[in-house]
Amino acid sequence: MTTVAPDPRHATSEPRTTAPGPMPEPVAGIRPHHRVFRVPGVYPVQRDTWLLADVLRAELADHGCGAAGPCRVLELGAGAGALSVVAAGVPCTDVTAVDLSRRALLSTRVNALRHGRRVRTRRGDLTAPVARERFDVVVSNPPYVPAATDELPVHGLARAFDGGRDGRAVLDRVCDEAPDVLTEGGRLLVVHSAFNDPALTVRRLHSRGMSAEVVARHEHPYGPVLTQRRELLCARGLATPEQRTEELVVVRAVRPAGC
């Protein structure tokens, strides 16, 4: 089980500059002081990114570059592309980043360039732009914050956060679509919040024929977005009025052979 040091999360105010957050570390070749470029409106890398980066690095650590060729990695909802850049820093990987947002993909390309990494970018809705391809690893940090309505924002930073009333609108689609683009034995790594009911994620993946389990957890204080939504979380019975922390979880799922 991976845990990481506490850190405030969810810096939501728009940045004045384009480089607010450190690249997840330690990554071979990336020094901690390097910063992640992002165009305004793109999700700032934060605790959920870092937690997933830890799990992703461990997942890729022992993949070999044998006759099967490079490990094909797909990031769904790339944002500034930090996870794609991490994956591309592992020898013998072939990385594709998908996002709906042009600004996110521009940020991803800039970050890949700055770190000398090769990341292919595709704009579109989750797996749609890569529907005919297959990947060994799919990694995703989808928007998962419970929102006032089920209507998903169509632009701006809110598109990176809001996941419908239960926070599962995009998360459920990741669970449903990822198996279709995974190779046999391929793995999905997806981060979200305990507010989204991780057991439901595991059950949903089981129903798609995947084996699935929670492999990492991390509890940290509410940031500005969750602080703003405290009443909403309480009204939905997701949190108590006194609660000030959120637990993040990473679910790892494997597509068995013949599935």
Ligand X SMILES: C[S@@+](CC[C@H](N)C(=O)[O-])C[C@H]1O[C@@H](n2cnc3c(N)ncnc32)[C@H](O)[C@@H]1O
| Alpha-carbon gap, residue 229 to 236, rounded angstroms | 11
Instruction: Using the minimum distance from each CB to ligand X, give the nearer residue, 125 or 219.
Output: 125
Instruction: Using the minimum distance from each CB to ligand X, give the nearer residue, 85 or 210.
Output: 85
Question: Could you give the string, one character per residue 156-185, with x where binding to ligand X holds by CB under 6 A and - elsewhere?
Answer: ---xx---------x---------------
Could you tell me which stretch among 11-19, 55-63, 99-107, 112-120 binds ligand X (CB under 6 A)? Answer: 99-107
Residue 78 as a binder of ligand X (CB under 6 A): the answer is yes
SS3 state at 181: helix
Q: What Rg value do the Cα atoms of the chain yield, rounded?
A: 17
Q: How far is the CB of 258 from ligand X (least distance, A)?
A: 29
Residue from the set 79, 89, 164, 186 that interacts with ligand X by CB under 6 A: 79
Instruction: Using the minimum distance from each CB to ligand X, give the nearer residue, 45 or 147.
Output: 45
Q: At what angle do helices 198-207 and 169-181 cross, to 10 degrees?
A: 30
Strands 21-22 and 119-123: unpaired
Q: How far is the CB of 50 from ligand X (least distance, A)?
A: 9
The two tokens of residue 123 are: 């704009």
- Within its chain, how far is the Cα of 140 from the centroid? 3
